[in-house]
Chain A
Amino acid sequence: MSSNNGLYPGLNLGSVHDEAHQQAEATVFGFWVFLMSDLIIFGILFASYASYLNPIGMAGAPGPQALFNLKSVAIQTAFLLFGGVAYAGVSLSMKYDHGAKKLIGWLLICALLGGGFLFFEISDFIDQAAKGGKPQASGWLSSYWLLVGLHGFHVFSGIVWILAMVGQILTRGVDDVVKVRLSMLGVFWHFLDLIWVGIFSFVFLVPLA
Chain B
Amino acid sequence: MSGQSSPTFGNLDWEVTPYTDLLEHVNSSTIIGAGAASVLVLGAFAGIALLTYMRWWKPLFRDWLTSADAKKIGIMYIALALVMMARGIIEGLVMRAHQATALGALDKAETGLVAPDHFAQLFSTHGTIMIFFVAMPLLIGLINFVLPQQLGARDMAFPVLNQVSLGLTAAGAGLVMVSLLIGDFGTGGWTMYPPYTGLDYSPGEGVDYWLWAILISGVGSTLTGMNFAVTIFKSRAPGMHLMRMPLFCWTSLCVAIMLIYAMPALTVSSAMLALDRYAGFHFFTNASGGNMMNYANIFWMFGHPEVYILILPAFGVFSEISSTYSGKRLYGYTSLVIASMSIAVVSFMVWLHHFFTMGQSAGVNIAFGIATMIIGIPTGVKIYDWMATMWRGRVRITAPVVYLVGFFLLFVIGGLSGIILANPSIDYQVHNTTFLVAHFHNVIIPGVLYGMLAGVHYWFPKAFGFRLDESWGRRTALLFVGGFIFTFMPLYVLGLMGLPRRSPTFQDPDFLPWMYIASFGAVLMLAALFCLLWTFWKSYRHRMSLSVPGGDPWNGSSLEWSTPAPVPEWTFASIPKVQARGDWGETKRAGDPWRAPDSYADIEMPANTAHGLIIAGMAFALGFAMVWHIWWLAALSFFAITAALIWRGMRVIEPRIIPARQVEEEDRRFREYVAGATPITRADEESERNRGVPDCSEFAG
The residues of A with any CB-CB pair to B shorter than 8 Å are: 22, 25-27, 29-30, 33-34, 36-38, 40-41, 44-45, 48, 51-52, 56-59, 61, 135-143, 145-146, 160, 164, 167-168, 171-172, 175, 177, 181
In the bound assembly, the distance between CA atoms of A26 and B157 in angstroms comes to 7
Closest to A56 in B: B289
Q: Return chain A residues, CB-CB under 8 Å to B229.
A: 33
Closest to B161 in A: A30
In the bound assembly, the distance between CA atoms of A171 and B226 in angstroms comes to 30
A44 touches B230 (CB 8 A): no
Q: Using known A-B contacts A26-B230, A136-B279, A167-B650, determine if residue A57 contacts B268 with beta carbons closer than 8 Å.
A: no
Q: Using known A-B contacts A164-B646, A181-B649, determine if residue A37 contacts B222 with beta carbons closer than 8 Å.
A: yes
Q: Return chain A residues, CB-CB under 8 Å to B272.
A: 48, 142, 146
15 new A-B pairs (CB below 8 Å) besides A56-B291, A136-B279? A30-B227, A37-B222, A37-B261, A38-B264, A44-B298, A45-B268, A51-B291, A52-B291, A58-B289, A61-B289, A136-B288, A139-B285, A139-B291, A140-B289, A172-B652
Q: Return chain B residues, CB-CB under 8 Å to A177.
A: 652
B283 in the interface (beta carbon within 8 A): yes
Closest to B645 in A: A164
- Shortest C-beta distance, A146 to chain B (Å), equals 7
Closest to B256 in A: A33
Q: List 9 A-B contacts (CB under 8 A).
A: A26-B235, A29-B234, A44-B301, A57-B291, A136-B280, A136-B281, A142-B282, A164-B646, A175-B652
Residue of A44, A45, A51, A175 with highest tally of chain B CB at under 10 A: A44
B263 in the interface (beta carbon within 8 A): yes
Q: Using known A-B contacts A33-B226, A171-B650, determine if residue A135 contacts B158 with beta carbons closer than 8 Å.
A: no
A37 touches B226 (CB 8 A): yes
- Shortest C-beta distance, A10 to chain B (Å), equals 20
A40 touches B264 (CB 8 A): yes
Q: Return chain B residues, CB-CB under 8 Å to A34.
A: 226
Of B267, B294, B650, which contacts A48 at CB under 8 A? B294
B260 in the interface (beta carbon within 8 A): yes
B267 touches A41 (CB 8 A): yes
In the bound assembly, the distance between CA atoms of A143 and B283 in angstroms comes to 7
Q: Using known A-B contacts A57-B289, A57-B291, A138-B282, determine if residue A33 contacts B275 with beta carbons closer than 8 Å.
A: no
B652 touches A139 (CB 8 A): no
In the bound assembly, the distance between CA atoms of A48 and B284 in angstroms comes to 11
Of A27, A30, A44, A139, which contacts B288 at CB under 8 A? A139
B659 in the interface (beta carbon within 8 A): no
Identify the 5 closest CB pairs spanning chains A and B, nearest first.
A139-B289, A59-B289, A142-B281, A40-B264, A138-B289
B361 in the interface (beta carbon within 8 A): no
Of A36, A48, A56, which contacts B260 at CB under 8 A? A36
A29 touches B289 (CB 8 A): no
In the bound assembly, the distance between CA atoms of A56 and B157 in angstroms comes to 48
- Shortest C-beta distance, A32 to chain B (Å), equals 9
B4 in the interface (beta carbon within 8 A): no
- Shortest C-beta distance, A125 to chain B (Å), equals 14
Of B157, B282, B301, which contacts A30 at CB under 8 A? B157
Q: Return chain A residues, CB-CB under 8 Å to B309.
A: none
In the bound assembly, the distance between CA atoms of A139 and B282 in angstroms comes to 5
- Shortest C-beta distance, B176 to chain A (Å), equals 24
- Shortest C-beta distance, B245 to chain A (Å), equals 17
B264 touches A44 (CB 8 A): yes
Of B227, B235, B261, which contacts A40 at CB under 8 A? B261
In the bound assembly, the distance between CA atoms of A58 and B290 in angstroms comes to 9
A37 touches B291 (CB 8 A): no
B642 in the interface (beta carbon within 8 A): yes
- Shortest C-beta distance, A194 to chain B (Å), equals 17
B125-184, CB < 8 A from A: 157-158
Q: Return chain A residues, CB-CB under 8 Å to B207.
A: none
B537 in the interface (beta carbon within 8 A): no
B107-126, CB < 8 A from A: none
